[in-house]
Chain A
Amino acid sequence: MKNLFKLFSIIILIITSNSNSFAAEKVEYLKTDWSFKGLFGKFDRASLQRGYQVYTEVCASCHSMKYLSYRNLAEPGGPEFSEAQAKAIAASFEVTDGPNSDGEMFTRPGKLSDKFVMPYDNVKAAQAANGGAYPPDMSVLVKARGGGVDYIYSLLQGYEEAPNNVSLDDGVYYNKYMYGNKIRMAAPLSDGLVEYGDGTNATVEQMSKDVTTFLMWSAEPHLESRHQMGFKAIVYLIILTVLVYFSMKRIWSRVESEV
């Protein structure tokens, strides 16, 4: 039995290390303590709300978030704005609707059920406005990058003067965490860029952490219920396993053989 466990864990270790081993060009990402990691990990509500502020004031001018709706902002497990706040946020955006009975498209203030308004009409428009580079949709961005939250967090703080041996074209910037070190996005954050309502000091580090937390939530909106359910499920399974183990011992004691 013990050996079975060992083999099992070795196999799992090999599998998991395999899937992580692509980062041959390894760089150490910056670390911070994420509240949503671990068995009971939960989002830091205030950080999510600040993160939304950073997203909407800074990132959203180029990056869409097409899978999110304004209602999500008020849902449990997220930033948990009050419904009134979420409605006010939605109403602050102009949404194109229609066609109306005259066959005309029209604009109206956003509603909770609307998806986040996109900064550009289409990919081509986004590329045209950004020197040919398409700012990726941010809905599942942290899951779509190898290092996940640590990578995004580091990237936001990874802008540096390019070393002498690296030449950069116009509109290309040096970032020590970017794959190949060249990035088409200028450093998006600078100290004091946003003014937090709760008085938190808006350093680059703080904003990076807040907006990355927000992006983790946008990619995994059910993370909190997943962790809660997971804990219950595993505790339940362990108790049941123990009970079944003793029943098994009891039943097998009838024959002269070991289990």
Chain B
Amino acid sequence: MSNHDYRPKSKVGQWFNDRLPLLTLANHLTDYPTPKNLNYWWTFGGILTFCLITQIVTGLTLAMHYIAHADMAFESVEHIMRDVNYGWLIRYIHANGASMFFLAVYIHIFRSLFYGSYKAPREIIWIIGIIIYLLMMAAAFMGYVLPWGQMSFWGATVITNLFSAIPLVGEGIVTWLWGGYSVDNPTLTRFFTLHYLIPFLILGLVVLHIWALHVPGNNNPVGIDIKKPSKDTVPFHPYIVIKDGFALLMFMIVFAFFVFYAPNILGHADNYIEANPMVTPAHIVPEWYLLPFYAILRSVPDKLLGVVAMLSAILILAVLPWLDTSKIRSAVFRPLYKQFYWILVADVLILGYVGAMPAEGLYLLIARVATAYYFLHFLVILPVLGFKEKTLPVPLSITEPVLGGSPNLAAARNKESKIE
């Protein structure tokens, strides 16, 4: 939005740009003024874009060889692993790519929580982000069903059965979802179709997510509004491009380690057993990235209320901009919020851990306490904190300390670099 008066140099460029201003868009994207103090937590946006594109490209290739049929799906996956040229590579990138995608999205979300990126004027960016996250979970769940292993089948059975908790129409909805009276071939084919569709919906929403971002511009670690362009900003290219690129490469090293040296460590062994409706696995567990919500689901004794709790745990994030009453964005200047933030991080990790354990005894108790705390954080602590907390003085600009300004910011930066 910085350069409305941009004009291509060549005649052809001008002719084209007058009809479709793609070059103006490209110019905007390269010149886009970005706060110069963005730390590495901000690189996960670019990393996530990479993840999405990787999943789409590998997914397309897999779909060329995969057969969505209950009798052939498992075998076709083995065919990909054995006989398709580099099929094993493509499949392992796709399977581990899902985990990497979620790892990155959790870091991205928690970065936003720490620096208050969801607050005005960025609520729409945040809400679109939550919708993307929901779609990601749907896509990942359905993707996990496609190999038609034991965990695929029974995971699908457990999750689709959640809808039966809806009063009156629940059973009917489940039958409708399955396309029959149990998870079977019709379920598999429709899951395949939706699994193919959802990434493109996500892609569209990502465009909106970035568009909405480019209206107010990036938040930053200090969390203040800045003038754009100014001494506080750098053009997106080359500064942010190279920094995102560097972070992406580091991320890819971790990614490559999983793909080449531990490709099955994040999956469940039972999924290499072909689906068998007659044999139920000892423990039915979802993929690691869904475990916190699985723990919340199981911590409520009532089925319907459990489903409601699980859904609310995600949907509560959508109203977060209005639950957090503090005017200050960055946790750097919110000493109390910062502590509660880390407690929340620990809480979610604990939920993930107990989600992988059998829902009994001590695990169940821990899950219940952690679930209660999760809601307490968003529904009580955050709204109250905005009124009670004594925040630190916020600097006027990012460059202030560089030009010899406020000692507060220097102190703040010090703390911040510890986080970094």
Contacts and interface: CB of A to CB of B under 8 A. Distances in A.
B269 A18 contact: no
A148 B40 CA distance: 37
B354 to A, nearest CB: 10
Given A4-B420, A229-B260, A248-B242, A15 B253 contact: no
B138 interface: no
B82 A221 contact: yes
Given A22-B283, A248-B243, A256-B402, A226 B272 contact: no
A215 B252 CA distance: 31
A16 B265 contact: yes
A227 interface: yes
Contacts of B316: none
Given A14-B349, A18-B353, A227-B261, A140 B253 contact: no
Q: Chain B, interface size: which category? A: 35 or more
Contacts of B353: 14, 18
A84 to B, nearest CB: 23
A3 B239 CA distance: 22
Interface string B243-274: 10110011011101101111111111110110
A39 B261 CA distance: 7
A144 B238 contact: no
Instruction: Provide the main secondary structure of the chain B interface.
Output: helix
Contacts of A200: none
Given A22-B285, A255-B234, A241 B356 contact: no
A247 B260 contact: no
A207 to B, nearest CB: 24
Given A14-B353, A15-B266, A252-B239, A67 B75 contact: yes
Interface residues of A, number: 52
Contact of A67 (B78, B239, B357): B78
Interface in B173-229: none
B352 interface: yes
B40 to A, nearest CB: 5
Interface string A243-259: 01101100110011101
14 contacts: A11-B103, A12-B254, A14-B352, A16-B265, A18-B353, A19-B267, A226-B88, A230-B260, A241-B250, A241-B253, A244-B245, A248-B245, A251-B239, A257-B37
Interface of B: 36-37, 40-41, 75, 78-79, 81-82, 88-89, 92, 99, 103, 234, 238-239, 242-243, 245-246, 249-250, 252-254, 256-257, 259-270, 272-273, 282-283, 285, 288, 291, 349, 352-353, 356-358, 399, 402, 418-420
